[in-house]
Structure 1
């Protein structure tokens, strides 16, 4: 199968989305502690801010999906669908698999669905609106590939919730691991007692690639 990332309309769409993301300022109120705000408040306040994965990180996701051929891909944190496009391109070009993504912001859900439709990749994706700790319970069967790119303080709880459904050898990818708020997550997956073989991958703000060994 060809590489969808190199064929119209995907390259132009991604370029436009990355450019738009770079032009949005930080809209979070300076006097409001971010980490103590409820997840829904964060999502509603920042619903115009894309916060996408890096282009190189997206290329890595696509490559890993093509290589591992997962039947079920789960994404925590859709935003405007940039990372979802890379995942969807991977399963589409594999000729099998489906992406289940979840997002709190209704604005972002609508935008992501429109972007995926423009890319011609919407049939490969189901976007679940709501809190991942509830919505991901609706994903059927085992999980072969997991991307954690939502609120950083929720990455570990979402992983722990999905752990019983991770297939042996499942890949778990966490983005922005250079942030201090990802320290509890990194401590968990790097502890051999929890059943992961893991490596830090130097992409932008850091990515952690972990393989479920149980």
Structure 2
């Protein structure tokens, strides 16, 4: 399902009309990270001993479960997720409850530029996995909230290199306070560290 949805998305990306079609198409689709990416974000959070983790683009909560498992397995922490689609947020909350990690997750429903404006303290880890065209403005919003040494993982970079060009330009410029590299996971996953 995820591969079919991703293939359809590739054809939709482009101008304003395509962006509207893109957002309409994915409003109810499950397009999760893969298992390798899930274990990567789990291990990074454990290695950081992350206490405050933020996720842009919760969707049905697959990646959120990996993040919450890391918090649980190290004795506590908070995952702040954000999701604009009400129905996806409902499904995600059900998944969190079923997995027994709902107490570790604060799912903020609505526009990420409002819901992530203040994360309540220094952020140790950020997963950027929402609409690709919003990746650059999200990293600009979040950069001041990331602690030194925080890690940022951005999904889908390899699938949509043109759409992510502005994001990559930002995280790959040392003057912006990051060092960054592309990992060969799922066609390209960007890993950045706040310096």
TM-score by length of 2: 0.89
Q: Name the count of aligned residue pairs.
A: 192
Q: Which runs of 5+ in 2 are unaligned?
A: none
- 1:47 Cα deviation from its structure 2 partner: 2.7
Q: Deviations over 1:85-143 (max 9, x none)?
A: 11110111111210000011001000011111111111111111111111112421111
Distance 1:210 1:175 in 2: 12
Q: Which residue of 1 aligns with 2:194?
A: 212
CA contact (8 A) 1:27 1:46 kept: no
- 1:27 Cα deviation from its structure 2 partner: 7.2
Given the alignment, which residue of 99, 121, 132 partners 1:119?
Answer: 99
Distance 1:123 1:68 in 2: 21
Is 1:183 the equivalent of 2:154? no
Which of the pair has more CA radius of gyration?
1
Q: Deviations over 1:50-109 (max 9, x none)?
A: 110111101101111111111110000001111111111011111121000001100100
Is 1:75 the equivalent of 2:75? no
TM-score by length of 1: 0.81
Q: Which runs of 5+ in 1 are unaligned?
A: 1-19
Is 1:145 the equivalent of 2:94? no
Provide the aligned C-alpha RMSD in A: 2.3
Which runs of structure 1 show a deviation greater than 2 angstroms over 4 or more consecutive aligned residues? 20-28, 32-35, 37-48
CA contact (8 A) 1:175 1:205 kept: no
